[in-house]
């Protein structure tokens, strides 16, 4: 039994290693390329770029419809149903991608009816929404802890897009050209994932759509979709509001701060995604082991959040000077506030995983909607008074509400509030070590 526990742990470590490998390369290469794009476009044109990306980004959750963790859990529990699950998920995501693309155009028409440039650029950026269905294969590889295939596929997309971006930087590409690179990356990644699935031995031709399964998936995924949509709203709405109420130059400053603050957001997602199959298995074996592992995960996320926030705050002044000279000095105060949101982003990702495992997806959605409401309300109050810095304060407050504060209002989850508070006060990661109960066999039906 101990060997089985160690085997599961080894699988998690391999999964984390491959995911971290891909993301570290991604963060390094994307960071270098993005800095050059920011400098090439300047505050005003980068503000336009950020505005369009924000519109598309708000609708991106629709392309997944909250299905990722739901489908992964079902693939872990019912591997024999993979063809039906993957086929149904692919069709759902394909339809949702088309709806998201059309919705992005409608949003621009409503907000900027007379601005043909913004509409054309949104159509270009929206192509990546149409390509998200191919990412369904990634759900399968995550369920079998096959992060290697996902990592290599995504790196293929990243390297292709980055290579062409360098050419555009040399030849003086405009905003539209750089937006096309988003679509190129999504397309190459999708093709690479399908080829990896075929190499593994899977056959997408065997996938089949099931109407009843579709209903069950949509029902299970809807709360998570609401949660992820609310997250994107309170992450991107400040940029939309600044785009409507301020200049594109001010939006450019805020866009730079947001981009740099979000650079390491992949860390909690990568770690929790790698742990997720083990969490599902652990809960089936022992409630006490599951509680211990969740507390350990909270502690780990808090520790990572503190390290990132403190480190980024210390090096930011020199970093901005090296990267941008004095051109983006106005973005530094915004960055210093936004980067502390990383602490609550980390905890929120772990909290959402816990709620998904125990089947309480609506609580996750409600927590995120609460954060969204706080963010939008504070933006209406703070942006007229403090400008983009006020938007940064509003974002930080909303991150805390959705990841922690909202559980004060839910008596059933006061224990969760206490566990997260414990992680914030003393993030002891030793609780992640395997315990004896982690190796117990699952209970008899």
Domain boundaries, the chain: 2-439
Residues with pLDDT less than 50, the chain: 1-2, 435-445
Confidence (pLDDT) at 26: 81
Confidence (pLDDT) at 138: 87
Confidence (pLDDT) at 435: 45
Confidence (pLDDT) at 288: 78
Cα–Cα distances (Å) from 81 to 73, 207, 213, in that order, read 12, 10, 10
How long is the chain?
445
Residue 269, H or E segment: helix 266-285
How many helical (H) and strand (E) elements, i.e. helices and strands, does the chain have? Answer: 17, 0
Mapping DSSP to helix (H, G, I), strand (E, B) and coil, where does residue 9 land? helix
pTM of the model: 0.71
Give the other-Cβ count within 10 Å of 206's Cβ: 11
Helices (H), 144-206: 147-171, 175-200
Structure-token pair, residue 4? 């089985």
Q: What are phi and psi of 394, to 5 degrees?
A: -65, -40
b/e string for 117-145 if b means 16 or more Cβ within 10 A? ebbebbbbbbbbbbbbbbbbbbbbbbbbb
Mapping DSSP to helix (H, G, I), strand (E, B) and coil, where does residue 422 land? helix
Confidence (pLDDT) at 1: 46
Confidence (pLDDT) at 427: 80
């Amino acid at each position: 039994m101990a060997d089985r526990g160690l085997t599961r742990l080894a699988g998690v470590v391999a999964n984390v290693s491959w995911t971290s490998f891909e993301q570290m390369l991604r963060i390094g290469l994307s960071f270098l390329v993005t800095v050059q794009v920011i400098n090439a476009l300047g505050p005003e044109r980068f503000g336009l770029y950020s505005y369009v990306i924000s519109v598309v980004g708000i609708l991106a959750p629709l392309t997944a419809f909250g299905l990722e963790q739901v489908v992964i859990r079902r693939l872990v529990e019912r591997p024999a149903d993979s063809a039906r699950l993957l086929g149904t998920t692919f069709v759902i995501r394909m339809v949702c991608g088309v709806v998201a693309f059309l919705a992005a155009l409608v949003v621009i028409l409503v907000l900027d009816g007379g601005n043909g440039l913004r509409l054309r650029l949104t159509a270009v950026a929206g192509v990546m929404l149409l390509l998200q269905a191919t990412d369904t294969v990634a759900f399968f590889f995550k369920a079998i802890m096959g992060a290697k295939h996902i990592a290599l596929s995504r790196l293929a997309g990243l390297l292709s897009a980055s290579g062409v971006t360098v050419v555009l930087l040399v030849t003086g590409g405009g905003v539209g050209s750089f937006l096309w690179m988003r679509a190129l990356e999504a397309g190459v990644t999708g093709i690479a994932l399908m080829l990896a699935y075929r190499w593994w031995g899977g056959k997408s031709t065997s996938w089949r759509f099931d109407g009843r399964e579709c209903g069950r998936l949509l029902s299970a995924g809807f709360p998570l979709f609401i949660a992820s949509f609310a997250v994107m709203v309170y992450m991107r709405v400040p940029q939309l509001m600044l785009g409507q109420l301020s200049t594109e130059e001010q939006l450019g400053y805020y866009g730079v701060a947001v981009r740099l603050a979000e650079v390491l957001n992949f860390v909690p997602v990568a770690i929790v995604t790698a742990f997720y199959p083990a969490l599902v298995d652990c809960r089936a074996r022992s409630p006490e082991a599951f509680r211990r592992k969740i507390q350990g995960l909270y502690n780990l996320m808090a520790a990572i959040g503190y390290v990132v926030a403190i480190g980024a705050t210390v090096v930011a002044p020199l970093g901005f000077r090296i990267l941008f000279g004095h051109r983006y000095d106005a973005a530094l105060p915004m960055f210093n506030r936004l980067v502390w949101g990383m602490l609550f982003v980390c905890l929120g990702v772990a909290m959402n995983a816990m709620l998904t495992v125990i089947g309480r997806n609506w609580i996750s959605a409600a927590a995120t909607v609460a954060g969204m409401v706080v963010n939008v309300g504070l933006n209406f109050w703070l942006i007229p008074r403090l400008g983009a810095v006020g938007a940064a304060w509003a974002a930080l407050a909303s991150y805390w509400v959705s990841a922690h504060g909202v559980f004060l209002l839910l008596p059933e989850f006061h224990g969760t509030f206490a566990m997260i508070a414990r992680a914030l006060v003393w993030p002891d990661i030793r609780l992640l070590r395997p315990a004896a109960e982690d190796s117990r066999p699952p209970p008899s039906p």
